[in-house]
Structure 1
């Protein structure tokens, strides 16, 4: 599990396509991979990946074709920077919200408005994803825990405000209009919405059966 508090960025050192997956090697600028081991889970741009090899300053991950298809990882290039968060340890402070690294979809940046040292960004969501997004709720964007400032349900867009620290520590500062980011919705919200929808669907079905039986 992760918290959405990105610890820094790493640089893509190499990318190799294999049958059924691609292998990526990331090199650290700060001690992000210290004390790492094979099998460790790391959030890379919000996507939970498993360490398959490591050295003193790098870590290697395998990205399945399915993961590549539903995330922005398939578009990475050498020297791109990715957000990194090591898995959360029990007992440590959680300054964000619970994230699992299971990317729901991607969203496209449609507006990027600097406001002093901050940025107001508007992103276009996929319609199926926007059903789980609420104003003042949490959302994970490229692994960053952010609060939804505004939501336009008709246009399926959301607005987030990026503070200077977020811009300094993550790769969100390099985003431009047209870029896509990985989206993870709050799983508690998903559970509540899906449970409510299924319950209402069952109730409507029972009501329909009752009406048919009385005819």
Structure 2
């Protein structure tokens, strides 16, 4: 499990295709992988991946074809910067929200606007995902837990803001209009919305 507090970034050093999967080689910038081990779970741009090998200055992850197709992993290439969060340690502080690294899909950035050192962003979500988001709730975006400001269900849009510290620690400074980001739904909200929908459906 993760907290949505991105700890830093790494650089994709290599991408290799396998039979039903591809492998990513990610650099160990900032020492985030100093104690990594084979089998460890790490969120890469919000996607829960398993460490498959560890080197002095890098680690590798395998990405299944299904995960690749449903996330922004499909767009990664050598030289790209990715957000990293190691799995949460039980008993340590959780300064964000509970995330699982189970990606709902990708959202497109349709608007970016600077407001001082803060950046306001509008995302266009997949149509089936918008029902799980509410104002003052949260969204997992590329592994970062962000508060949702406004939700426009007609356009499938929602808005978030990026504070300077979040921009500094993540690859968000590289995002542009038209960029795609991974999104994760709050599990508790999903259960509640689906349960209510299932209960009300027979009444119609």
Confirm or deny a common fold (TM above 0.5). yes
TM-score, normalized by length of structure 2?
Answer: 0.98
How far is the alpha carbon of 1:201 from its aligned partner? Answer: 2.1
- Deviation at residue 127 of structure 1 after TM alignment: 1.1
* Deviation by residue 1:94-131 (Cα, 9 ceiling, x = unmatched): 01100000000110000010111110000101110000
Q: Which residue of 2 aligns with 1:163?
A: 163
Q: CA deviation at 1:74?
A: 1.1
Which whole-Å CA distance do the structure 2 matches of 1:69 and 1:94 have between them? 30
Larger Rg belongs to: 1
Confirm or deny that 1:42 pairs with 2:48: no
Q: Is 1:154 the equivalent of 2:154?
A: yes
Whole-angstrom CA distance in 2 between matches of 1:192 and 1:178: 32
- Number of matched residues? 204
What pairs with 1:35-184 in structure 2 (closer than 5 Å)?
Answer: 35-184=35-184
- CA shift for structure 1 position 199: 1.4
1:37-94 CA deviation, whole Å, 9 max, x = no partner?
1000000000000000011221100000000000000110101000000000000010
- Using the TM superposition, give the Cα deviation of residue 17 of structure 1 relative to its aligned residue in structure 2, in angstroms: 0.6
After the TM superposition, which segments of 4 or more aligned residues of structure 1 sit over 6 Å from their partners? none
Quote the residue 1:13 is aligned against: 13
State how far apart, in whole Å, the 2-side matches of 1:145 and 1:128 are: 20
Distance 1:106 1:35 in 2: 31
2:3 alignment partner in structure 1: 3
What's the TM-score once normalised by structure 1's chain length?
A: 0.93
Q: Which runs of 5+ in 1 are unaligned?
A: 206-215
The root-mean-square deviation of aligned C-alpha atoms, in Å, is 0.8
Q: Which residue of 2 aligns with 1:211?
A: none
**Take 2:74 and 2:196, find their aligned partners in 1: how far apart are those partners?**
35
CA deviation after TM superposition for structure 1 residue 154, in Å? 1.0
Mapped partners of 1:119, 1:35: distance in 2: 34
| Equivalent residue, structure 2, for 1:213 | none
Measure, in 2, the Cα distance between the counterparts of 1:48 and 1:69: 15
- Show the counterpart of 1:199: 199
